[in-house]
């Protein structure tokens, strides 16, 4: 029933791959309720992204390409999303959870008069009885929620919905003329990117994460050669971000990034519930900690009680031998 | 300058939360309650901004009488007075909380409305943005620095990929992230003083808010538990297991 509008996310004019996870959610939900989905893209100089999304089975791909949308600001973007939803007859809006969608979607919901479900991890039931599961209390509770309003907005947890593959066919790609109003209430000033040659933390298949036990920037840097060797992303706990050892973008956890790599190696971090909330869906978990009682060991597949400053160089050495490098 | 700031009560962020066997909620026996850590960041920001620019800080919370203890904690951090809107936590969704807070804003007309980025019990991260849209105000969420100058707030935002700066004209809605500041601990004299600070109780009806929910939580369950694995004795053993057992190398 109804159309789900998936909002694509772009970064520097390019599609963020995480968009594909929300497409899987839209396929799942529309499959259960007998509706369809459309894809919306907002930005400036992003016309090419429309074509990239034409092969995923959407009833249409709608591109709002306007210099006024060059920089993201919540209020004008929310207006544009709702105008687009109205235009394509969408009663539901969804996007993969990120700082972009977390900032934007609630505004969209208020504007549409829709209830919003944050961080959906599963769709249960079907037809009019469809419900949604979402984590609460740092992932210690799984709640089932029902949307009572006729319209609904969803942020989708990317780790729980696989990236959609192309489904063949070609959705019509259409340019939509929606422009932002002149607005003196908010202005974009600047963006200071964290420049890194490593894979994106949210998308990496191997993640090496460090905690307070690494002490300082120099200590944290022992993870670099390990990450190089494993082509891994680097992440950290709140403790190392608060201490300025790692940038905010690398915080894994309840209030940071949620990841589920194939292999997660946690080094000198205790495994506080807020941290576990962001990584416990990882396929294989390794922990290195000098305290045998550290909570991280209770969810680790392989735990090594050792001093990180000794164990990490050894680990690098062993993996080098293995890889013949 | 007048600042309105939220003081939401949450279960102790470090407590082990257990679901009731019948799935109707969480076990509350023996649970302690605290101010939402992100609200503490927001309150610290509000109080220190007023110390700099002069004016008044009003703390607002939604909940039954038992949340007043935590509202008093906000007053002890330096807020001048408190407002509690009386409705039980389990009768709220994010949308209703936002519509209530929007009405309190309209009654108070502050220059700035400060929130925590997320309530660490429900983990929704919605209310700030909902309030901003309902009030048609600019928003700056996930703030790690706020500077007020020339009638606008210049806000550094923690976003994916780095740090973004935006400027929002006052009145505006801002949510605090963890790096915004280190919340002060209330001193004993301030705790005593807080007991005498004015505290007003309002009701959703008096504010003219329809209490119908848009999203209802129908069941709670414990998520699947991950089993602990083994301890390896050496780095060599670790690498061997990762290679041959987990096939992760
Ligand atoms: C509202 C709120 C939100 C939060 N959100 C998050 C979040 O999103 N993500 C997050 O990670 N945290 C979050 N936290 C913080 C969380 O509660 C913990 O404080 C934090 O995760 C601890 O980081 P840590 O493990 O690096 O440090 P610690 O808990 O101090 O652990 C350090 C560990 O290193 C070990 N160690 C020390 N030296 C060595 C050595 N030489 N070799 C090996 N091991 C060593 C110690 O045994 C210890 O286990 C949040 C907290 C709050 C209140
Ligand atoms: N019951 C409440 N009382 C006061 N403030 C609240 C309440 N619920 C949410 N808030 C505010 O909204 C923010 C975001 O909450 P949430 O959207 O529930 O994660 C919180 O950090 C508080 O600032």
B231–A304 CB contact, under 8 Å: yes
The domains of chain B, with CATH numbers, are 2-244 (3.40.50.620)
Nearest to A260 by CA among A271, A250, A252, A248: A252
Three-class SS state of B38: helix
**Ligand 1: centre distance to CA A240 (Å):** 8
Output the six-digit token pair for A217: 């920037």
A130 — contact with chain B (CB < 8 Å)?
A: no
The interface predicted TM-score (ipTM) is 0.97
A297-to-A221, A233, A234, A282, A283 alpha-carbon distances in Å: 23, 21, 20, 14, 15
**Which pLDDT score is estimated for A119?**
98
Q: Which residue has the tokens 């004299």?
A: B189
The DSSP bridge pattern shows strands A302-305 and B2-6 to be unpaired
- Is residue A213 packed enough to be buried (19+ CB in 10 Å), middle (13-18) or exposed (0-12)? buried
Q: Measure A138 CA to ligand 1 centroid, in angstroms.
A: 15
Please tell me the predicted confidence (pLDDT) of residue A324.
83
The CA angle A235-B119-A78, to the nearest 5 degrees, is: 85
Closest CA to B248 of A235, A325, A230: A230
Give the tokens for residue B128. 């700030």
Query: Touching check for B137 and chain A: CB below 8 Å?
Result: yes
**Which pLDDT tens digit goes with each residue over A268-282?**
999 999 999 999 999
Atom 14 in ligand 2: which residue has the minimum CA distance? B118
Cβ partners under 8 Å of residue B192, min gap 6 = none
For chain B, helix (H) and strand (E) counts, in that order, are 7, 13
CA-CA-CA-CA torsion sign (B225, B117, B202, B72): positive
Distance (Å) from CA A212 to ligand 1 centroid: 6
Which ligand lies nearest to the CA atom of residue A210 in the structure? 1
3-state secondary structure of A67: helix
Angle at the Cα of B207 (from B201 to B208), degrees rounded to 5?
Answer: 150
Of how many residues is chain A composed? 325
**Residue of B16, B179, B214 lying closest to A147 (CB–CB):** B214
- Which of A9, A76, A98, A107 to mutate to test binding with chain B, by most B CBs within 10 Å of its CB? A107
The edge-to-edge listing of strands for the beta sheet with A263-267 is A233-236, A206-210, A263-267, A284-289, A302-305, B230-232
Tell whether ligand 2 has an atom less than 6 A from the beta carbon of residue B61.
yes
Question: Which ligand 1 atom is nearest residue B36's CA?
Answer: 1
Interface contact A196, partner B, CB < 8 A: no
Nearest of B46, B126, B63, B86 to residue A104 by alpha carbon? B126
Ligand 2 pocket, residue B64 CB under 6 Å: no
Token pair of A153 as six digits: 């907005």
| Cβ contact A47:A57 at 8 Å | no
Decide if A122 touches B, using CB distance below 8 A: no
Residue whose C-alpha is closest to residue A155's, from A124, A126, A130, A134: A134
Q: What percent of chain B has pLDDT over 90?
A: 98
Q: Whole-angstrom Cα distance, residue B117 to residue B178?
A: 9
What integer pLDDT is reported at residue A313 of this predicted model? 98
Tell me how far apart the alpha carbons of residues B77 and B59 are, in angstroms, rounded to a whole number.
10
Q: What gap in Å lies between CA B208 and CA B190, rounded to an integer?
A: 34
Kindly list the residues from chain A whose CB atom is less than 8 angstroms away from the CB atom of residue B167.
Answer: 186-187, 189
Q: Which residue has a Cα nearest atom 21 of ligand 2?
A: B116
Residue recorded with tokens 């080098």: A320
| Alpha helices (H) in chain A, listed in sequence order | 19-33, 47-52, 74-88, 99-112, 217-220, 223-230, 238-242, 273-276, 308-323
Residue numbers of chain A with a pLDDT score lower than 70: 1, 325
Q: Which chain B residue's Cα is nearest to A121?
A: B223
B189 φ, ψ (degrees, to nearest 5): -55, -35
For chain B, 249 residues long, give each residue's pLDDT as a single digit of tens: 999 999 999 999 999 999 999 999 999 999 999 999 999 999 999 999 999 999 999 999 999 999 999 999 999 999 999 999 999 999 999 999 999 999 999 999 999 999 999 999 999 999 999 999 999 999 999 999 999 999 999 999 999 999 999 999 999 999 999 999 999 999 999 999 999 999 999 999 999 999 999 999 999 999 998 888 999 999 999 999 999 999 999
The whole-model pTM stands at 0.97
Residue A129, both tokens: 């009885």
pLDDT of residue A325: 61
Residue B228 is predicted with a pLDDT of 84
A92 three-state secondary structure: strand
Integer Cα distance of A286 and B181 in angstroms = 33
pLDDT (tens digit per residue) in A173-212: 999 999 999 899 999 999 999 989 999 999 999 999 999 9
């Amino acid at each position: 029933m109804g159309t789900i509008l998936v909002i694509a996310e772009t970064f520097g004019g390019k599609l963020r791959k995480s968009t594909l996870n929300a497409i899987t959610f839209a396929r799942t939900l529309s499959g259960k309720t007998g509706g369809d989905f459309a894809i919306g893209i907002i930005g400036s100089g992003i016309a090419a992204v429309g074509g990239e999304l034409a092969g995923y089975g959407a009833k249409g791909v709608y591109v709002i390409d306007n210099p006024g949308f060059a920089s993201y600001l919540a209020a004008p973007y929310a207006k544009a999303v709702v105008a687009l939803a109205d235009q394509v007859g969408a009663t539901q809006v969804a996007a993969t959870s990120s700082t972009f969608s977390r900032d934007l979607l609630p505004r969209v919901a208020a504007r549409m008069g829709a209830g919003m479900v944050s961080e959906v991890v599963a769709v249960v039931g079907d037809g009019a009885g469809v419900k949604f599961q979402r984590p609460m209390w740092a992932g210690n509770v799984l709640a089932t929620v029902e949307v009572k309003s006729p319209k609904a907005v969803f942020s989708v947890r990317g780790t729980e919905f696989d990236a959609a593959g192309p489904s063949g066919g070609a959705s019509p790609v259409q340019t939509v003329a929606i422009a932002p109003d002149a607005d003196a209430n908010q202005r974009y000033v600047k963006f200071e990117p964290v420049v890194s040659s490593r894979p994106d933390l949210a998308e990496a298949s191997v993640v090496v994460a460090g905690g307070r036990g690494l002490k300082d920037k120099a200590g944290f840097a022992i993870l670099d050669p390990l990450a190089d060797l494993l082509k891994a992303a680097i992440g950290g706990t709140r403790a190392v971000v608060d201490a300025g050892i790692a940038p905010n973008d690398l915080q894994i956890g309840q209030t940071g990034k949620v990841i589920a790599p194939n292999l997660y190696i946690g080094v000198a971090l205790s495994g506080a519930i807020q941290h576990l909330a962001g990584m416990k869906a990882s396929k294989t978990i390794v922990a290195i900690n000098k305290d045998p009682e550290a909570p991280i060991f209770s969810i680790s597949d392989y735990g090594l009680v050792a001093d990180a400053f000794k164990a990490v160089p050894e680990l690098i050495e062993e993996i080098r031998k293995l890889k013949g490098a | 300058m007048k600042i309105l700031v939220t003081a939401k009560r949450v279960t102790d962020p470090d407590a082990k939360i257990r679901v009731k066997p019948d799935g109707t909620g969480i076990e509350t026996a023996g649970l302690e309650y605290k101010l939402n850590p992100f609200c503490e960041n927001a309150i610290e920001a509000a109080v220190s901004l007023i110390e700099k620019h002069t004016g008044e800080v009003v703390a607002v919370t939604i909940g039954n009488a038992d949340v007043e203890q935590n509202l008093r904690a906000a007053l002890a951090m330096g807020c001048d007075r408190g407002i509690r809107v009386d409705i039980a936590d389990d009768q709220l969704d994010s949308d209703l909380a936002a519509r209530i807070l929007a009405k309190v804003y309209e009654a108070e007309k502050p220059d700035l409305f400060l929130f925590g980025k997320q309530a660490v019990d429900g983990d929704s991260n919605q209310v700030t943005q909902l309030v901003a849209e309902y009030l048609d105000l600019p928003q700056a969420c996930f703030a790690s620095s706020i500077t007020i100058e020339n009638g606008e707030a210049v806000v550094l935002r923690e976003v994916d990929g780095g740090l973004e700066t935006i400027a929002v004209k006052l009145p505006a809605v801002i949510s605090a992230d963890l790096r915004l500041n280190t919340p002060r601990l209330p001193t004993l004299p301030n705790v005593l003083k807080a007991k005498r600070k004015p505290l007003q109780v309002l009701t959703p009806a008096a504010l003219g808010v329809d209490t119908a929910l848009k999203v209802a939580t129908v069941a709670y369950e414990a998520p699947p538990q991950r089993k602990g694995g083994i301890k390896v004795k050496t780095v060599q053993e670790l690498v061997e297991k990762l290679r041959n057992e987990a096939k992760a190398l």
